Amino acid sequence: MAFDFILMLTADDRTIPDARARLEEALEGGARHIGFKDVGLPLAELKGLADAIRNAGGRSYLEVVSLDAESEMASARAAIDLDVDCLLGGTRAEEVTRLTRNHPLRYYPFPGRITGHPSVLEGPAEAIVASARHLAELEHVHGLDLLAYRFAGDVPGLMTQVCAAVEKPVIMAGSIDSEARVREVAGAGAAGFTVGTAALAGAFPADQPGFAAQVRAILAMTTRGRAVSTSPRRIALAAHDTRKAHLRAWVSRHARALEGHQLICTGGTGRMIAGANPALTIKRLQRGSRGGDQQLGALIATGELDAVIFFADPTLPHGGDSDLQALTRLAILHDTPLALGPSSADMVTAALLGETGRAGY
C-alpha cells in the first residue's frame, strides 16, 4: 500500500444499517479501499456489500471486533465465506491463520492487548511493540492493524516504534478524525489508515455537504500525507532487452529518491540495476523467460506492489508480449499504477514518493 485511505462503513465499531446505500456515495467520492465490521448486519447483507465493492473494482476489508475466541473464529470463517480481500483485527493470530492460510485474503491482526467495545488498546508501549514483532514473524500474517488512537499514551511515538520494529505494512485505525492525525500517521511510516465514524459524522472540512464530499476531502488529505509518508514503497521494475539500458539510466537518474524503497525486479534487470546502483534495495525474481513476469503478476494480484514500471519496446516482436499483456490486465484489475516508459514512470514515482521523494531528487 502506498499510504492509502480505507473507508470503513462503520460507526461505533459496527457496520452501519444503511451500508449498501452509503457504498454508492463512497464510490461517487472516489473511495477504492472500503471495509466494514463483522457485526451490525446479517451475514447475507455483508456478502452483498462485499460483492458490490468487488464489482465496483474496489478492495474489500472486514475488520474483526469480537473479543471471545469462538466469535473471532466465526468472524474469520465469515471473511473466508465473504471472499474479502483483507481481514483486519482480531487477537488470536495463530488460531486464525490455521483457517486463512489456504485462502488468498491478506490478514492484519491487532498487536497489543485489546479490551472493550468500542475497542481500546492497552499498553505499555514496549509490550505493544513486542506483540507487533511476534505477530509479524508469523508466516501467514501479512501486516498489522494498530489501534493507535485508542491508546492512552504517546500515540505518534507508538506508531513510529511499531512501524520501525516490523518490515510488514502497518495500518492505523481508531479515531482518526483530522488532517493533523493523517499527517502523523503518514510521518510514522504507516502503509494506510482507516476512517469510519468521523467521515459519517462529517468531521472533515469539505467543499460541499454530504458523505461523498467527506470521502473526497479525506482522499485529498491522503495525497498530501503521501508527500510526507516514510513508508517504503514497493515498486516493480522490468524491461524488454532493448529497453534495459533506458531503464538503467532512468533508475540512476532517480536513485536518490528510490533509496530506502523496495525495488522488485525480474532477474536480469535486477542484476543490472544492482550493479549500477549498489545503494538501492533490490529483490530479484526469476528472469522474465523463466517466470519472473508471472511472479510480478502474482504480487500485483495479492496487492503487494505499489506500482509496476515496465519499459516496453513496441517496435519489435517479442516473445514476452503475452506476459506484458497479462501484467497490464492485472494492473488494471487490481488498480495498480503501470508505467511503460520514462515519462509515465516519472509521473508515477513523483506521485508515489511525494513531490521531492523520500530522499529528494
- State how beta strands 106-108 and 86-89 pair: parallel
Rounded to whole angstroms, the Cα distance separating 25 from 60 reads: 16
State yes or no: pLDDT of 209 exceeds 50. Answer: yes
Cell of 237: 521494475
Distance CA 247, CA 252 (A): 9
Q: How is the beta sheet containing 144-146 ordered, strand by strand?
A: 106-108, 86-89, 59-64, 33-37, 4-8, 192-195, 170-172, 144-146
The set of cell numbers assigned to 318 is 517479442
Contact criterion met (CB below 8 Å) for 250 and 235: no
Q: Which CATH architecture has domain 234-353?
A: 3-Layer(aba) Sandwich (3.40)
Q: What is the pLDDT of residue 325?
A: 86
Q: Give the percent of the chain with pLDDT over 90.
A: 70
Which residues lie across from 114 on neighbouring strands? 121
Is residue 361 scored above 70 in pLDDT?
Answer: no
**What is the model's pLDDT at position 318?**
59
The CATH 3.20.20.60 portion of the chain extends over 4-226
What pLDDT score was predicted for residue 185?
96
Query: What pLDDT, on the 0 to 100 scale, is given for residue 319?
Result: 53
pLDDT tens sequence across 115-137: 887 789 998 999 999 999 999 99
pLDDT-derived band of residue 293, with 50, 70 and 90 as boundaries?
confident
From the centroid of its chain, how far is CA 59?
A: 10
For the chain, helix, strand, coil in percent to 5 are 45, 20, 35
Report the relative pairing of strands 113-115 and 120-122 from DSSP bridges: antiparallel
Question: Where, residue-wise, is CATH 3.40.50.1380 in the chain?
Answer: 234-353
Residue 168's pLDDT band, with cuts at 50, 70 and 90, is very high
User: So what's the pLDDT on residue 1?
Assistant: 59
Position 194 scores a pLDDT of: 95
Active-site amino acid positions: 293
| Greater model confidence, 345 or 65 | 345
CB atoms within 10 A of CB 241: 13
The CATH fold of domain 4-226:
TIM Barrel (3.20.20)
Name, in order, each residue with C-beta under 8 angstroms of 134's C-beta and a sequence gap of 6 or more.
none
Confidence grade of residue 232 (pLDDT, cut at 50, 70, 90):
confident
Give the pTM.
Answer: 0.86
Res 313: pLDDT: 86
Confidence at residue 359, expressed as pLDDT on a 0 to 100 scale: 39
Give residue 111's pLDDT: 97
H or E element at residue 21 = helix 19-29
